Amino acid sequence: MVATPYVCIAVDVSSWYFTKPFTPMAWVVLLSGALMGFSFAFMWFVSMYQLWFGGVPGPVAARIAHTDLTKSVIS
């Protein structure tokens, strides 16, 4: 899913040039743009879900549990 937008960008831009001599490539421009938008939206929603509703990962929780918060970080 991560590589999909980049593939869509390559297909979209290359199909711009192929649309001039072969007009049905306009459908490829539309479809690749729509798929690129969908994949970016999907990745954004997944990221927002993980930020707002996801739990703290195990290694991070373990590191926080073992950290002495009374010590100064700078000293």
User: What would the two tokens of residue 40 be?
Assistant: 């970016």
User: What would the two tokens of residue 36 be?
Assistant: 């690129």
DSSP state, 67?
A: S
The verdict on residue 40 lying in a domain is yes
pLDDT value at residue 59: 84
pLDDT value at residue 63: 80
The average pLDDT across 46-65 equals 85
Calculate Rg over the CA atoms of the chain.
Answer: 22
* DSSP three-state, residue 35: helix
Domain tally for the chain? 1
- pLDDT per residue as tens digits for the range 26-55: 999 999 989 989 998 999 999 999 999 888
- pLDDT per residue as tens digits for the range 4-28: 888 888 988 999 899 999 998 899 9
Query: Residue 14 belongs to what domain range?
Result: 4-55
